[in-house]
Amino acid sequence: MRSNRQQPSPPPASTPANRSHTLDAVLAEVRACRLCAPHLPLGPRPVLVAHREARILVVGQAPGTKVHASGVPFDDASGERLRDWMGMDRSTFYDPLRVVFLPMGFCYPGRGTSGDLPPRPECAIAWRAKLLAQLPRVELTLLVGQYAQAWHLGAQRQSTLTETVRCWRDYGPHQIPLPHPSPRNNIWLARNPWFEQEVVPMVRERIEALNRTGS
């Protein structure tokens, strides 16, 4: 006998609205994350920005105290230099439809003997793959510093940050390793003038090309 029970409806087709909601849901989970709370001297305050339409991904290290206080990525002297390297003004840099900010650690990790501590490893393990899966339009990833390069390049990175950045052609055009733009790296920049002569113009050209090909 044929059952009169109504068959379950098929799941709704994936639509841009549904996919956006999925990213929103993951972001909400991240912002509520307390995995590292016992290790964070200022407590959890995840700092990240992501939108499905953005085509540029900036992968930094972890927030410093100023960014922790403001909740704005690269809201410090490092951000001023990074904007200059990218050839962007502040409003474009912080347009979520253009630039995603996903540091390797979303919360301020505290101070060590020679500066801020490394990003907490729990962060990338718990959230990175979920977030990257929701960013289908990213065409350029800037890997800022050794921790970003270690995770994204893996065995392809060189033995030092300097050599990894020097070999930028091996990773392009979709991934570009950069030194950290912190004022602490002024000596490194002075010793490696090729970076601002060769790599910075190429970064700007890549970003201008993305802008020309549509939003």
Question: What is the per-residue pLDDT for 2?
Answer: 41
Residue 125 within any structural domain of the chain: yes
Question: What is the per-residue pLDDT for 214?
Answer: 63
pLDDT tens per residue across span 95-128: 999 999 999 999 999 998 888 999 999 999 999 9
182: containing domain:
16-212
d(C-alpha 102, C-alpha 49), whole Å: 7
Domain of 123, CATH number, reads: 3.40.470.10
Residue 20: pLDDT above 90?
A: no
Residue 4 within any structural domain of the chain: no
Give the strand order in the sheet containing 175-178.
99-101, 56-59, 140-144, 175-178
Question: What is the per-residue pLDDT for 172?
Answer: 80
- Mean pLDDT computed over every residue of the chain: 90
Residue 14: pLDDT above 70?
A: no
Name residue 35's amino acid: L
Count CB neighbours of 107 within 10 A. 26
Count CB neighbours of 84 within 10 A. 13
What is the pTM (predicted TM-score) of this model? 0.89
Question: What is the per-residue pLDDT for 114?
Answer: 80
pLDDT tens per residue across span 36-92: 999 999 999 999 999 999 999 999 999 999 999 999 999 999 999 999 999 999 999
Residue 9 within any structural domain of the chain: no
pLDDT tens per residue across span 26-47: 999 999 999 999 999 999 999 9
Number of domains in the chain: 1
Residue 168 within any structural domain of the chain: yes
Share of the chain above pLDDT 70, in %: 89
Residue 2 within any structural domain of the chain: no
pLDDT tens per residue across span 180-207: 999 999 999 999 999 999 999 999 999 9
